[in-house]
Amino acid sequence: MKIIRHKTLPILVGKVQIGGNAPIVVQSMTKTKTEDVKTTIKQIRQLEKAGCEIIRVAIPNQTAAQALKTIKQQIKIPVIADIHFDYRLALASIKAGADKIRINPGNIGTTWKIKEIIRAAKDYKIPIRIGVNAGSIEKEVLQKYQYPSARAMVASLTKMIDLFENSNFSNLVLSVKAFDVLTTVEAYQNISKHYSYPLHLGLTEAGLPFEGAIRSTTALALLLTKGIGDTIRVSLTGDPVLEVIAGYELLNSLGLREYGPIIISCPTCGRCEVNLFKLTQRVKKALAKYKNPIKVAVMGCMVNGPGEARSADYGIAAGKRSGVIFSKGKVIKKCSEEDLVSALLTEINLS
Ligand code: SF4
C-alpha cells in the first residue's frame, strides 16, 4: 500500500519546511521552565540528538519570551513560541527571534489583539499555527455546539482562518487536537477537505508513555494513512525524547520516513534459551547513535529466527549459550552468547 499525501502549501519554520513536498517533520515540546535557560537548552540539545527537527517552548511570561534570544543562539533547530492568553507575549517572542508562533484562538481574546500578532508575524516573515484544542474552544462556539465535538473545533478554527485570510495572512499551520481519538480524526479529516494549509497532527493529553504512544499512534496513523498530516508531535506525560522516538517509530512503520534503526524482535516462546528481553535492550542501546535506516532483528531461536526475520538487514538468532549473526535470512557467523552484540555491530559497521 502506498500512501498518497495531500498536497499542502509549503511554509518555512526557520530552515525547516513543513508541507509542500517536505518529509513529515517530527517535533516536540520542552517540559522545562523556558526562563530557566540552562535547563531548557540542555533539554533541547537532548532532543536534537534524538532527531527532533523543531522545538516548541511555553511562553507564560515576559521573562520566558526574552529567554528565547539566548536559547536560539545555543541550539540548532527552529523554535516555536507557544502562546496562551496574552497577545503581548506573542509580540515579545516574535521580536526575540521565535521562528513560529502557536496561538490558541480560544484564549487569545479580541480580534484586534490577533491582528497585532498577524502584523508582527508579517513583519518578521514567520508562520503562525492556529492550534484549536477541544478543552479550550471559544465560548460562543461552544455555546452553539454545546460540547467540544469535531464540528465545534472545526467551526472555531474556520472562524480564525477567516480572520487571518481577511488580513491577507496565509503563512499558516493548522491543528485541531482533542483527547478523544475519533473526535480528533474527524476534525482533521474535515479540515483537510477544505484547506490546503499544512497540518500539525497530535492528540492532546494522550497519557503516560506506553498508553499515550498507543493512543497517539492510533489517531495519527488513521490520518497519516489517508495522506493527512505534515508535522507530528506525539505528546506524552514523560521524557520528551520519547516523543521524538515514538514519532519516528510511527513514521518509519508507515514508510513515511526512514530514520534510524528499526528493531525487529520476536515475542519469545518455549523454544527460547536466552534472556531475549535483555539481549534486545542491549542491541537497542548499542544502535542508539545510528541514524541511517537499518532493520535489525533479535530472535529467540536459531531454527526459526533467521527465516522469520528474513526482511532484516542484520540479525541475531540466539540459541543455548551461543547464537548466529544473519543477514537477509542467511547465517553469516556463529558465536558465543556474550559475543553476539559486538559481532552484530562489527557486521553492521562493515556494511
Ligand atoms: Fe519462539 Fe523462535 Fe519464534 Fe522467537 S523466533 S517466537 S523463540 S519460535
Architecture of domain 11-253: Alpha-Beta Barrel (3.20)
Q: Which atom of ligand 1 is nearest to the CA of 301?
A: 2
What's the CA-to-centroid distance between 174 and ligand 1, angstroms? 45
What's the CA-to-centroid distance between 305 and ligand 1, angstroms? 6
Cα separation, 8 vs 4, in Å, equals 12
Task: Spell out the SS3 assignment of 287-326.
Answer: CCCCCCCEEEEEECCCCCHHHHCCCCCEEEEECCCEEEEE
Q: Which atom of ligand 1 is nearest to the CA of 267?
A: 6
With vertex at residue 11, the alpha carbon angle to CA 293 and CA 106, rounded to the nearest 5 degrees, is: 110
According to the model, what pLDDT value does residue 282 have? 95
Pocket of ligand 1 (CB under 6 A): 266-269, 271-272, 299-301, 304-305, 308
Q: From the CB of residue 239, how many other CB atoms can be counted at a distance below 10 Å?
A: 16
What's the CA-to-centroid distance between 312 and ligand 1, angstroms? 15
DSSP code for 199: B
Superfamily, domain 261-350: Sulfite Reductase Hemoprotein, domain 1 (3.30.413.10)
pLDDT in tens, the chain (351 residues): 889 999 999 999 999 999 999 999 999 999 999 999 999 999 999 999 999 999 999 999 999 999 999 999 999 999 999 999 999 999 999 999 999 999 987 888 889 999 999 999 999 999 999 999 998 888 889 899 998 999 999 999 999 999 999 999 999 999 999 999 999 999 999 999 999 999 999 999 889 999 999 999 999 999 999 999 999 999 999 999 999 999 999 999 999 999 999 999 999 999 999 999 999 999 999 998 888 899 999 999 998 888 888 899 999 999 999 999 999 999 999 999 999 999 999 999 876
CA-closest residue to ligand 1 atom 7 = 300
According to the model, what pLDDT value does residue 195 have? 98
Does residue 5 contact residue 227 with C-beta atoms inside 8 Å?
Answer: yes
Cα separation, 101 vs 56, in Å, equals 9
CA-closest residue to ligand 1 atom 2 = 301
Q: Break the chain into its structural domains and give their ranges.
A: 11-253, 261-350
What's the CA-to-centroid distance between 315 and ligand 1, angstroms? 13
Cα separation, 140 vs 33, in Å, equals 32
